[in-house]
Amino acid sequence: MKNLIILGAGTAGTMVANKLRPKLNTSEWNILLVDEDETHYYQPGFLFIPFEIYQPNDVIKPKRRFLPDGVELIIGKIDRVEAAENQVKLFDGRQLNYDYLVIATGTHPRPEETPGLEGEAWGDTVHDFYTFEGAVALADKLKNWPGGRMVVTIMEFPFKCPVAPLEFIFLADSYFTQKGMRDQVELTLATPLPGAFTKPVAEKHLSQMLADRDIKVVPDFYTEMVDTDTNVVMSYDEEEIPYDLLVTIPVNMGADFVDRSGLGDELNHVKVDKETFLSPHYNNIFALGDAAALPTSKAGSVAHFAVDIFTENFLEHIAGRPMTHRFDGHANCFIESGYGKGILIDFNYDVEPLPGKFPLPGIGPFELLTETRMNHWGKMAFRWIYWNLLLKGRPIPMVPAEMKMAGKELELIST
């Protein structure tokens, strides 16, 4: 018997198990999944909880419900991978031997990485919405918040779902407007990147949206610490942003075992080939989803496209044949923009987000880089697609793993 071990039963790990189980003979292959948590969280839904668009129950379901027969789920916290011995060690002392290993343990917020963040103010004047608990606590806070300076800070790049802070601030604008208190709220977005939009075509199409909504952007702001006594965020440049309510996107890091196992970069993301996800050091270790250090967005859609490519390659790889499929970095993300509208972006390693129609060229129904109601409905439909198609490894109609240029308008931007 051969053992395939998948570390992490989140979006990517669950999809891999569902895709590979029917393709690997049960008399030859065991598939084991390891995760510390029985609950599957629909993380894109965390964005909507603070504004009471989703209720907490909308985003949680038992992991086992999404796993096929013939896959064993082991609940435990991973301590390390002994890559030279093809072994995984859990904190409870269990040791699991593998022939092939897929690391899909994601990336997670680490407020402790920023001095000052995790003190007594956490959950009071300082919040996040990147965890289930954080999103629920923020909903509670916003209910009775009298208004003031709301500051959203991105602590480090890369982080998962890079459009989520923008969506959050758009939704905040819409939420406070509906509550009739927008004039009592100042909205500021601080980012370590050179702007809220950094790709030329997207910047041209979308940057006005922030000014129109009276959202202030502080670019090149790299947070050094948060002073929760005086309520200011300080940058390494010694710039200060005062706040009444701070909503942070904490530093995102991969699991600590990745570092202990010598497989990670400075943020514990696993170094792998960007087209095949194979480790450059071990011929039987792959990393998929947010856990992998790839120069594309960390998003559920990316994990989905990546798993399609990976599945084909994996079957070739175990048969001793060269892997013939190449991942292009395809990402497809809906950006909720408030007031019942949204934007869609579609891009890959080489092509930045461009305007056009998606998925059918000239028809849509979705419009790229444009705010429409239909795009908002696409975002809302994603939850159903996620639970019913995506996790189970079923194809999403008309959305291929490889990015298509058809339907996109090429624009020449010159300075």
Partner 1 sequence: MTTKEIAGKTIHFDDSGFMADAKEWNNEVAVELAAEIGINPLTEMHWQVIEFCRQDFLANGDAPNVRRITKQAGIPTKQLYKLFPKGPAKKAAYVSGLKKPTGCI
Ligand X SMILES: Cc1cc2nc3c(=O)[nH]c(=O)nc-3n(C[C@H](O)[C@H](O)[C@H](O)COP(=O)(O)OP(=O)(O)OC[C@H]3O[C@@H](n4cnc5c(N)ncnc54)[C@H](O)[C@@H]3O)c2cc1C
Q: Which residues bind ligand X (CB under 6 A)?
A: 8-13, 34-37, 43-44, 46-47, 77-78, 104-106, 129-130, 160-161, 164, 255, 257, 289-291, 298-301, 303, 333-334
CA atoms 153, 159, 160, 162: torsion sign: positive
Strands across the sheet with 215-218, in order? 126-128, 245-249, 148-154, 185-190, 215-218
**Partner whose binding site includes residue 130, from ligand X, partner 1, none (CB under 5 to 8 Å by kind):** ligand X
Residue with smallest beta-carbon separation from ligand X: 10
- Closest approach, Cβ 47 to ligand X, in A, equals 5
Contact 67/27 with Cβ under 8 angstroms?
no
Count the site residues for partner 1 by CB under 8 A. 33
Under the binding rule (CB under 8 A), the answer on residue 211 touching partner 1 is no
> Which of 128, 342, 144 has its CA nearest to residue 249?
128
Under the binding rule (CB under 8 A), the answer on residue 337 touching partner 1 is no
> How far is it, in rounded angstroms, from Cα 156 to Cα 114?
10
In the bound state with partner 1, the residue whose beta carbon lies nearer, of 63 and 213, is: 213
Tokens 């060269």, residue located: 322
For helices 300-318 and 11-20, the axis angle rounded to 10 degrees is 40
**Partner whose binding site includes residue 224, from partner 1, ligand X, none (CB under 5 to 8 Å by kind):** partner 1
> How far is it, in rounded angstroms, from Cα 277 to Cα 285?
9
Under the binding rule (CB under 8 A), the answer on residue 114 touching partner 1 is no
Q: With H, G, I as helix, E, B as strand and everything else as coil, classify residue 82.
A: strand
> Which of 168, 217, 158, 202 has its CA nearest to residue 347?
202
- Closest approach, Cβ 36 to ligand X, in A, equals 4
Position among 53, 75, 121, 193 found at the interface with partner 1 (CB under 8 A): 193
**Partner whose binding site includes residue 325, from ligand X, partner 1, none (CB under 5 to 8 Å by kind):** none
Helix spans in 225-368 (H): 256-260, 300-318
In the bound state with partner 1, the residue whose beta carbon lies nearer, of 212 and 238, is: 238
Position among 54, 347, 358, 382 found at the interface with partner 1 (CB under 8 A): 347
Position among 42, 66, 197, 257 found at the interface with partner 1 (CB under 8 A): 197
**Partner whose binding site includes residue 347, from ligand X, partner 1, none (CB under 5 to 8 Å by kind):** partner 1
Helix spans in 277-385 (H): 300-318, 373-385
Q: Which of residues 220-249 bind partner 1 (CB under 8 A)?
A: 220, 222, 224, 236-237
In the bound state with partner 1, the residue whose beta carbon lies nearer, of 37 and 220, is: 220
Under the binding rule (CB under 8 A), the answer on residue 280 touching partner 1 is no
> How far is it, in rounded angstroms, from Cα 338 to Cα 327?
33
In the bound state with ligand X, the residue whose beta carbon lies nearer, of 46 and 327, is: 46
> Which DSSP category does 396 fall into?
P
Residue 32: φ, ψ to 5° = -115, 135
Question: Residue 363: which residues within 8 A CB-CB, separation 6 or more?
Answer: 357
Tokens 């606590």, residue located: 137
- The span of 7-15, 115-123, 139-147, 218-226 binding partner 1 (CB under 8 A) equals 218-226
- The span of 60-68, 143-151, 217-225, 385-393 binding partner 1 (CB under 8 A) equals 217-225
Q: Which residues bind partner 1 (CB under 8 A)?
A: 156-157, 162-163, 192-194, 197-200, 202, 206, 220, 222, 224, 236-237, 265-267, 295-297, 331, 333, 335, 345, 347, 353, 413-415
